[in-house]
Amino acid sequence: MAGTGTAHLRHDVVLSVTELVVEFPARKKQVVHAVSGVSFDLDKGETLGIVGESGCGKTTTGRAIMQLESVTSGSIRLNGVDLAAEQGEQLRQARKAMQMIFQDPVSSLNPSRRVREIVREGIDIWGQTREGDVDAWVAEVMESVGLGDEDVADRRPHEFSGGQCQRINIARALVMEPDVLILDEPVSALDVSVQAQILNLLEGLKRQFGLTMLFISHDLSIVRYLSDRVMVMYLGQVCEIAETADLFSRPTHPYSRALLASIPGNTLGLPQASELISGELPSPLNPPSGCRFRTRCPHATDVCTSTEPELVEHEPGHWVACHHPSVNA
Amino acid sequence: MPLVEPGATGAKTETEAVAPIKGGNPGQKRRLGLTFWLSAGWIFTLVFLALFRDILPIRDPDELGIRTREVAKFESPGRNACGGGDGQGRDMFARVVQGARPALILGLTVTIIGGILGSAVGVTSGYLRGKVDTVTTVFIDIALAFPGLVLLIAVRATFGNSMFVFIVLFSLTSIPGYARIVRGASFALSERDFVDAAAAMGATKRRIILRELAPNIALPVLSFAFIGFALVIVAEGGLAFIGLSLDETTWGKLIADGAGDIARHAHVALFPATVMFLTILAFNLVGDSMRALYSPREVATQRRLRVGAMADTGSGDEVLYIDDLFTALHTPNGDVHAVDGVSLSLKAGEALGLVGESGSGKTMILRSIVGAFALADVTRTGTVEVAGVDMLRAEPADIKRTLGTQIGMVSQNPLTALNPVRLIEHQITEPMLVHTSMSKSEARTRALELMQQVGIPAPERRLREYPHQLSGGMRQRVTIAIALANEPELLLADEPTTALDVTVQDQILRLLSDLQRDRKMAMVLVTHDLAVVKGFTDRVAIVYGGEVIESGPTEQIFSNPRHRYTVALIQSMPNLDLPSHSELTTIEGTPPSLVSPPRGCRFAARCPAAQDICNTTPPSTNEASEHWFRCHFPAGDDAEGAA
Please tell me which residue of chain A has the smallest CA distance to B535.
A265
Q: How many CA atoms lie within 13 A of A254 on its CB side?
A: 22
DSSP for residue B453 = H
Reply yes or no on whether the pLDDT at B298 is more than 60.
Answer: no
**Burial of residue B137 (number of CB atoms within 10 Å: 0-12, 13-18, 19+):** middle
**B569, closest residue in chain A (CA to CA):** A193
8 Å CB contact between B326 and B340 = yes
For an interface test with B, which of A53, A106, A110 has the most B Cβ atoms less than 10 Å from its Cβ?
A: A110
Q: What is the rounded distance in angstroms from the CA atom of residue A241 to the CA atom of residue A229?
A: 7
| b/e burial code for range A254-286 (CB count within 10 A of at least 16 → b) | bbbbbbbbbbbbbeeebeebeebbeeebbebee
- Which chain B residues are within 8 Å of A197, Cβ to Cβ? 586-588
Q: Please state the ipTM of this predicted complex.
A: 0.83
Is residue B581's pLDDT more than 90? no
Cβ–Cβ below 8 Å for A126 and B202: yes
d(CA B489, CA B494): 16
Per-residue confidence in pLDDT tens, chain A, 329 aa:
445 688 888 888 999 999 999 999 888 888 999 999 999 999 999 999 999 998 899 999 999 999 888 899 999 999 888 887 777 777 777 778 899 999 899 999 998 899 999 999 988 888 876 777 888 999 999 999 998 887 888 899 988 888 899 999 999 999 999 999 999 999 988 888 888 889 999 999 999 999 999 999 998 889 999 999 999 999 999 999 999 999 999 999 999 999 999 988 788 888 988 899 988 889 889 999 999 999 999 999 999 999 999 999 999 999 999 999 875 54
Q: Output the furthest CA–CA distance in chain A (Å, rounded).
A: 65
Alpha-carbon gap: B643 to the closest alpha carbon of chain A (Å): 29
Residue pair B221/B115 in contact (Cβ under 8 Å)? The answer is yes
- How many angstroms separate the CA of residue B524 from the nearest CA in chain A? 18
Whole-angstrom Cα distance, residue B630 to residue B642? Answer: 7
Least CB–CB distance from A263: residue in B10, B502, B590: B502
- pLDDT attached to residue B375: 66
Nearest by CB to A159, from B27, B196, B357: name it.
B27
Determine whether the interchain pair A53/B8 forms a contact, defined as Cβ–Cβ distance below 8 Å: no
DSSP structural state of residue A316: T
Judging by beta carbons within 10 Å of its beta carbon (0-12, 13-18, 19+), is residue B559 exposed, middle or buried? exposed
CB contact under 8 A, B10 and A194: yes
| Cβ within 8 Å of residue B304, ≥6 positions away | B376, B377, B378
**Residue A32's beta-bridge partner residues?**
A24
Q: Which residues of B are less than 8 Å from A151 in CB distance?
A: 3
Exposed (0-12), middle (13-18) or buried (19+): which is B40, by Cβ within 10 Å?
A: middle
pLDDT in tens, B44-72: 999 999 999 889 888 888 888 777 778 88
User: What is the rounded (10 degree) CA torsion for B596, B600, B602, B604?
Assistant: -120
Pairing status of strand A47-51 against strand A81-82: unpaired
* Residue of chain A nearest B457, judged by CA positions: A279
The answer to whether the Cβ–Cβ distance between A105 and B10 falls below 8 Å is: yes
Strand locations in A26-133 (E): 31-42, 47-51, 73-78, 81-82, 98-101
Q: Do B573 and A192 touch (CB under 8 A)?
A: yes
Size of interface A-B (CB pairs under 8 A): 210
Mean pLDDT along residues B513-530: 93
User: Which chain A positions have a beta carbon within 8 Å of B5's beta carbon?
Assistant: 161
- Substitution target from B15, B581, B582 for chain A, most A beta carbons within 10 A: B581
Q: Is the pLDDT of residue B334 over 60?
A: yes
* Residues of chain A neighbouring B532 (CB-CB closer than 8 A): 264
Q: Residue B42 in contact with residue A195, Cβ under 8 Å?
A: no
For B586-590, what is the mean pLDDT? 82
Minimal Cβ distance to B9: which of A66, A161, A258: A161
Write down the pLDDT at residue B19.
35
Determine which helix (DSSP H) or strand (DSSP E) holds B307, and give its type and residue range.
strand B304-307
Using a CB-CB cut-off of 8 Å, the residues of chain B touching A258 are 503
- A chain contacts of residue B194, beta-carbon cutoff 8 Å: 107-111
| B574: chain A residues, CB-CB within 8 Å | 195-196, 199, 219, 221-222, 224-225
Nearest to A44 by CA among A13, A6, A83, A66: A13
Residue of A68, A5, A60 lying closest to A33 (CA atoms): A60
For residue B594, the tally of other CB atoms under 10 A from its CB is: 29
Q: Do A273 and B507 touch (CB under 8 A)?
A: yes
CB contact under 8 A, A96 and B3: no
